[in-house]
Structure 1
Amino acid sequence: MKVSIIIPAYNCADYINRTIDSIFAQTYPRTNLEVIIVNDGSTDETANILSNYEHEFTIIHTKNKGVSAARNEGLKYSTGEFIQFLDSDDILLPNKIEEQVNILKENNADVAYGIWQKFVETDGDIKITQTIDRKIKGDIEIALFSDYWYPPASILYSRRIVEKVGGFKLWLEMVEDARFLLDAAIMGAKFFYVPKPTALYRIGNENSLSQINELKFVHCCFKNAVSVCDLWKEQFVNHPQKKDAVINCLRYCINRFSVLNETYFNIAISQLLEIEPNYIPTQKGLLQISSKILGYRNAERIASFKRRLLK
């Protein structure tokens, strides 16, 4: 069965050869691997490097539109029964695709995920810095929204669930991969955990959006929370844990916006109060006490002054 590997590539000349080498090292039959690389308007030597693979892979060149648009463009060209999203600086371990394809086939599942490892590369040498072994527990939608994240390299999707999800959200510049996985759960995907190392996730990449701009990251978390709230709000009465999960995410955004952007800070408070008009924090402390006396919005405004002073 064919696996389509889709790689969005932006200014990754320093990394992409090693990523491609990890594809060549797969134990899954090479004839059943379809590799699609979308050069997302790179301004370095990425395009020249990719020209070396034009006889083996499908190489697509586009204007810079972001990682979600690049992945969606790659999906248009894919024909595999399974979809492997792979960032251009990460690495697949040799048995990854073979083991996860077998798991999905044997269990008629839609999403295989497994252990992944963080790494740094210095002068060509790879050093593993952390191994993350986390099987999803509890309500899968709440877990994926609140607490669990896996790099795309560590996951394998069935085409049927990818088509149900319908692609990556173009309005999310960050956390788009987490939202895609959550959408798979919302669409009823059957998940299966592979308790073996599957992929290496590079840290310390200066081109990583999440390391460049905290405000943009928090704003994407906020937009995602508002969107998920719209999907879940009819379930809040019977599933209050989902309501709590959205509120907790908004509380995080409010906390960070208080020192990053006053406009977003006020918008996020309004969003939370729309969900829970008489909201009082459950955690004991000054914010809870002042919320009871002054109301949550005013309590947060007072707390924000302290946060900015301590910034």
Structure 2
Amino acid sequence: MKKSPLVSIIIPTYNYGLFISEAIDSVFSSSLSKEELEIIVVDDGSTDDTADRIRAYQNDLIYIQQNNSGKAKATKVGIDRATGKYLFNLDADDLFLPEKLEKVVNCFESDRDLVHVSHPAIYWDVNNDKKEIEPIPDWIKNTKLSGKEVLRYFYRHQILFGGGSTFATRTEIAKQMPIPRSVDMYIDEHLVLFALEDKYCYFINEPLSVWRIHGHNFSVGKSQSEKAIAKLKRSQLSMEAVLQTLEAEAFDPEIVALYTLKTKVSIASIKEQLGEKTVNDTIDIWKYLWQNFSRDPQMWKLMQTYNVLNRTLPTPMINGLRNLKSKLSRHG
């Protein structure tokens, strides 16, 4: 009987044939043996040469093709198929460093309470070949932390660490997570939220993944303006779906309140860019702030963090301020 793999690496992909081979090769460069690895590539309806490139690895990985259904569905398919003890996510345009899998597994093995182990990433801007390490606060590094404590910090400072190609959890935990297809673009954040709820996490003080910044198309065959509008609308629906899942799963009330504020402000920004923001959107944000944070000693800090004042100004006024700022900068 074949021994179960130690780790499962899910690679959801859509039209990233240009990068997929490098992502797979970075896993095989791991200090773990091939027998300990299970690579699951879930192709979300690619129309490029992804399938042709995967053929070179057909005996070394699991390749699943599906109709274009979004990143959340592709990730869920990968999780359902995974048989390793630990589960890693790798975006198809990113890379693992050779020591990543072993070091993360060692953390898990050292403490059964840990459900999420992460680390900083290296940002690699391929346009100028510039690399820098993701800045993570020192207080969360190399320390066992309460997931709820970390989430509260994230959403009070409008930041998020530990997602995407830095995400790892126990496979048994991932299989219990609610992952609706509608979460779509926000699956990375969704996974972090549900991995950290009522559990413990650890952030290694060492970059072990590479996030490639390349600016390739969000979708193929559309004009730049069409793609931008489609991405904004898709982002709005994805964020709303995460919030709906948090509410349905009776998530920690404080985190739900913070995520709701984030969602309302973000959607107002999206509507502003689309020319769809209304007075009701502004009233809704202020009403929610007063009802949920009026007794919070950090209310004014939250307003600054989420740029509430700017987001609730009328769109013509915002456009006027932007034009004024542009004119002032041109005239030195």
Match of 1:288 in 2: none
Match of 2:78 in 1: 74
Q: Which amino acid aligns with 1:159?
A: T
CA displacement at 1:221 relative to structure 2: 6.6
Match of 2:151 in 1: 141
Structure-2 separation of matches of 1:257 and 1:199: 34
Does the alignment pair 1:215 with 2:232? Answer: yes
Structure-2 separation of matches of 1:264 and 1:226: 21
Match of 1:305 in 2: 316
Q: Which amino acid aligns with 1:182?
A: L
1:34 to 32, 38, 44: 38
1:9 to 4, 10, 13: 13
CA contact (8 A) 1:258 1:307 kept: no
CA displacement at 1:261 relative to structure 2: 4.2
Q: Which amino acid aligns with 2:213?
A: I
Summarize deviations over 1:181-213 as a string: whole Å, max 9, x none.
011112x2320111111100011231347x953
Q: Which amino acid aligns with 2:117?
A: A
List alignment gaps of at least 5 residues for structure 2: 141-147, 324-332
CA displacement at 1:244 relative to structure 2: 5.1
Structure-2 separation of matches of 1:72 and 1:234: 20
Structure-2 separation of matches of 1:265 and 1:150: 36
Match of 1:161 in 2: 173
The 1:272/1:80 distance shift into structure 2, 3 A limit, reads farther
Structure-2 separation of matches of 1:265 and 1:130: 41
Counterparts of residues 215-254 of structure 1 (less than 5 Å): 215-216=232-233, 219-220=236-237, 222-223=239-240, 226-227=243-244, 230=247, 239=254, 243=257, 246-254=260-268
The 1:18/1:268 distance shift into structure 2, 3 A limit, reads farther
The 1:279/1:32 distance shift into structure 2, 3 A limit, reads closer
Does the alignment pair 1:98 with 2:102? Answer: yes
CA contact (8 A) 1:161 1:189 kept: no
Counterparts of residues 149-298 of structure 1 (less than 5 Å): 149-166=161-178, 168-186=179-197, 188-208=198-218, 213=228, 215-216=232-233, 219-220=236-237, 222-223=239-240, 226-227=243-244, 230=247, 239=254, 243=257, 246-262=260-276, 266=280, 269-270=283-284, 273=287, 276=290, 282=300
Q: Which amino acid aligns with 2:318?
A: R
List alignment gaps of at least 5 residues for structure 1: 286-290
CA displacement at 1:23 relative to structure 2: 1.0
Structure-2 separation of matches of 1:13 and 1:264: 41
Give the secondary-structure state (helix, strand or coil) at the position aligned to 1:196. coil
Give the secondary-structure state (helix, strand or coil) at the position aligned to 2:208. strand
Structure-2 separation of matches of 1:260 and 1:69: 27
CA displacement at 1:104 relative to structure 2: 0.6
Q: Which amino acid aligns with 2:272?
A: S
Structure-1 separation of matches of 2:314 and 2:194: 34
Give the secondary-structure state (helix, strand or coil) at the position aligned to 2:31. coil
Which moves more between the two structures, 138-147 or 225-234?
A: 225-234
- TM-score (normalised: structure 1): 0.79
CA contact (8 A) 1:117 1:128 kept: no
> How many residues of Structure 1 are paired with residues of Structure 2 in the alignment?
289
Structure-2 separation of matches of 1:120 and 1:245: 30
Match of 1:121 in 2: 126
CA displacement at 1:231 relative to structure 2: 6.2
The 1:170/1:242 distance shift into structure 2, 3 A limit, reads closer
CA contact (8 A) 2:70 2:184 kept: yes
CA displacement at 1:228 relative to structure 2: 6.9
CA displacement at 1:242 relative to structure 2: 6.2
CA contact (8 A) 1:225 1:250 kept: no
Summarize deviations over 1:37-86 as a string: whole Å, max 9, x none.
11211111111111221111111111111111111112222101100111
CA contact (8 A) 2:167 2:192 kept: no
CA contact (8 A) 1:222 1:268 kept: no
